Structure 1
Amino acid sequence: MTCRTVKQFADAAAPEELFTGQWQNRPSVLDDYKPYLDDRWSEGCTNAWKLWGDRPARLQGQLPAGSRLPARQAHLTAGGDRQAALTSGRRRLDPPAPDTLTEAEQIQLKAVRTNCPELDALTQHVRSFAAMLTGRQGQRLPDWLDAVRQDDLPSLHTLAVGIDRDRDAVIAGLTLPWNSGAVEGHVNRMKMLKRQMSGRAGFALLRKRVLLSS
């Protein structure tokens, strides 16, 4: 964090002054519905899931994730409402494992997936990949990639392209019991030693420290 950023926080007279930058005033799928959402927010409804559940027909499918509205409205609200909204958004972006959901949460998730086909497809692909990863079922990867490409999910398509560049290695990683954890640990240790000695010693001393610290 630069001194300029620290000064900006220190000199801000109101919370709204902190929310500026390249991400502000960008077009959003909610732009046409902001008057309705602002009215509901002013009435005291600051829960995006509640707003989505009470939405008019024209809002069908616009609030499936449940976290964007609090984040947006937090930019316009001070005090506890902002903190509560942001906290709510973080919780929804980091959901628990499916088998740990309560009955009410399962019903809520089912409703969200029903109203958003893209989110439903994404959920299926993510859970399928998790099953491959935890069950070491790398042989299923080609079928998983084909299934991903059949859905309109650009982010997963990008992931699929990256996997295809080194498909054999990914399949091995999803199948074999070995990993490179030990090697990565040694690499991190050597980087730490190198940073500690930056500009103060040559290769000979660095080599000696690496060998003696192993």
Structure 2
Amino acid sequence: MRDQILDVLLPHLAAVVAIQDIQVIGPGVRITAVAAADAAPCPDCGTNSRRIHDRYGRRLADVAAGGQPVAIRLTVRRFRCEAASCPRRTFAEQMEGLTVRYGRRSQLQERMRAAIGRTLAGRAGARLAVMLHCTASPDTLLKRVRALPAEPPEKSPRVLGVDDFALKCGHVYGAVLINIESGTVVDVLPDRTAETFTAWLQQRPGAEIVCRDRASAYAEAVRTAAPDAVQIADRFHLWLNLYKTVEGKRAANTRRHFAAVHEMHDKGVSIEVISKSLRMDPKTVRKYAHATTVEELLAPPRQSRRMLQPWAEYLNMRWQEGCTDSGRLFREIQERGYRGSSRSVRRWLEPLRSADAPVPKRSEAPTVRQVVGRLTRHPDNLTSGQRLCLKHILARCPELADLRRYVGDFARMMRNLDGHLLPRRIKAAKGSDLPPLRSFASNLTKDLDAVTAGLTLPYSSGIVEGHVNRVNFLKRQGYGRANFDLLRRRVLADTSRVLVTPL
């Protein structure tokens, strides 16, 4: 029974050593063992030898058992090599799967430390290692990660996916290459330029299909290094381009400026410096910085009434109680979280002053983003209220009704992979009275072959986007001590496989 328990609890020891004694000493467990084999191979010539020259003691740290640290006291034999032609006179035996030359930890614990470093990096990994009784410093764990193999394959996979990720957002970008068929990482490049990707493809031929976004650098690299490969423009990016077309140029610029201003303002950069850096008027920068959400900037002219809508019931109640002082009401709702101006409160109260009773609550007008979402969403995914609101909007704006029909036709083509209908859709868009739609169609013709392949073949960059998300997680996890070399090894060493349901 004792031997059976040891085989179950210590399977990595049972095959290579004979356990002589197990003792609980202090907070840990000490195992005394000797090698189970009668002979050992010479590390130089490989000849098995039985001639024992000497014995000595060796101590190894092993993985924890029952929540207690384990130390192995191993009696190691030194053999004489029996081959006359071998230059080595004596050698110490090594237990396969347990010991390595000069190692003071078992191979199982070393693999555990490498897995901890690969998954959690330095500081977080060191904290977990303490709990698992295989203590290691952050630097030691990162050394184990850097020792992992990170050589790219000699040949490119048949279906290759490529996309970029930010090393320093807005300044430095890298690129990740994915085997679309297996869902695994192939390599990580230090930048996203056409020259680097071209050199990689030329050194590793074999790509027959390349999934990419609409970036021209990747398209140029594939045309140069793999001219026979079929390029696929990802359907998600096509739909994103159409979404931005429906949203309009003003809204897209507003969102971009809002993100840029808040990124700098949150870091403590002054309004004047932001204004000079982004070449924007200081008043505009101040307006963007003080807005809590981008929807406040995209709102139509009656924004003040919508901003006051959460406090409408309170204002009506106070008005009925006889409080007609706009300044006092402004201070009261300001204490309750209102961030607008006192002038907006005065304007809101004007209808009440000219009427005997409070003005009934008006339905809030939909924002630009809400209208775009309803135009680009599948009709079955809209509520009855959203469908009714969209019906009223389309009745008032025939241009949006035409845009809605085009979006529906394009969506069905994407979902059914009817790429042969693309020329017809492009022709219809170019004949539209909406300039953004004509511009969208013109951009499709510049990359027509890749767009057609993306709307015809079942491959996409969905798996690549999943790995980009994982790369960003690993990058943030190693914040402060994550150079490109370490990040690349962690990405390549992580065997996680991203699965994405086809569109």
2:461 equivalent to 1:180: yes
* Equivalent residue for 1:189, pick from 470, 473, 485: 470
2:417 equivalent to 1:142: no
C-alpha spacing 1:86/1:162, structure 2 compared with 1 (3 Å): farther
Q: CA deviation at 1:201?
A: 5.2
Which residue in the other structure is 1:50 paired with? none
C-alpha spacing 1:109/1:73, structure 2 compared with 1 (3 Å): closer
Q: CA deviation at 1:139?
A: 0.9
Q: CA deviation at 1:92?
A: 3.9
2:394 equivalent to 1:131: no
Per-residue CA deviations over 1:23-69 (Å, capped at 9, x if unaligned) read x9xxxxxxxxxxxxxxxxxxxxxxxxxxxxxxxxxxxxxxxxxxxx9
Q: CA deviation at 1:182?
A: 1.9
Which residue in the other structure is 2:302 paired with? 73
* Equivalent residue for 1:94, pick from 370, 373, 379: 373
1:1-214 pair list within 5 angstroms: 1=262, 2=265, 21=284, 71-75=300-304, 79-80=308-309, 88-89=366-367, 91-95=370-374, 97-99=378-380, 100=382, 102=384, 109-110=390-391, 112-197=393-478, 200=481, 204-214=485-495
Checking the alignment, whether the CA contact within 8 Å between 2:475 and 2:482 is kept in structure 1 is no
Inter-partner Cα distance in structure 2 for 1:81 and 1:111: 25
C-alpha spacing 1:157/1:213, structure 2 compared with 1 (3 Å): same
Higher helix share: 1
Q: Residue 410 of structure 2: SS of its match in structure 1? A: helix
Which residue in the other structure is 1:63 paired with? none
Larger of the two Rg values belongs to structure:
2
Read off the aligned partner of 2:304 and give its amino acid letter.
H
C-alpha spacing 1:184/1:70, structure 2 compared with 1 (3 Å): closer
Inter-partner Cα distance in structure 1 for 2:492 and 2:388: 57
Inter-partner Cα distance in structure 2 for 1:98 and 1:202: 47
Inter-partner Cα distance in structure 2 for 1:75 and 1:154: 31
Q: Residue 284 of structure 2: SS of its match in structure 1? A: coil
TM-score (norm 1): 0.55
Higher mean C-alpha deviation, range 165-174 or range 86-95? 86-95
% identical equivalent positions: 37
Inter-partner Cα distance in structure 2 for 1:87 and 1:115: 14
The count of residues paired between Structure 1 and Structure 2 equals: 159
Task: Report 1 or 2 for greater relative contact order, CA contacts < 8 Å, sequence distance ≥ 6.
Answer: 2
Inter-partner Cα distance in structure 2 for 1:207 and 1:108: 49
Read off the aligned partner of 1:75 and give its amino acid letter.
S
Read off the aligned partner of 1:128 and give its amino acid letter.
D
Q: CA deviation at 1:186?
A: 2.7
5+ long unaligned stretches in structure 1:
9-19, 25-68
Inter-partner Cα distance in structure 1 for 2:388 and 2:394: 10
C-alpha spacing 1:124/1:198, structure 2 compared with 1 (3 Å): same
5+ long unaligned stretches in structure 2:
1-261, 272-282, 288-297, 312-337, 339-361, 496-503
C-alpha spacing 1:171/1:110, structure 2 compared with 1 (3 Å): same
Read off the aligned partner of 2:308 and give its amino acid letter.
G
Q: CA deviation at 1:159?
A: 1.3
Inter-partner Cα distance in structure 2 for 1:158 and 1:151: 10
C-alpha spacing 1:81/1:74, structure 2 compared with 1 (3 Å): farther
Which residue in the other structure is 1:48 paired with? none
Per-residue CA deviations over 1:54-105 (Å, capped at 9, x if unaligned) read xxxxxxxxxxxxxxx9732123665226898767436444325324564x87
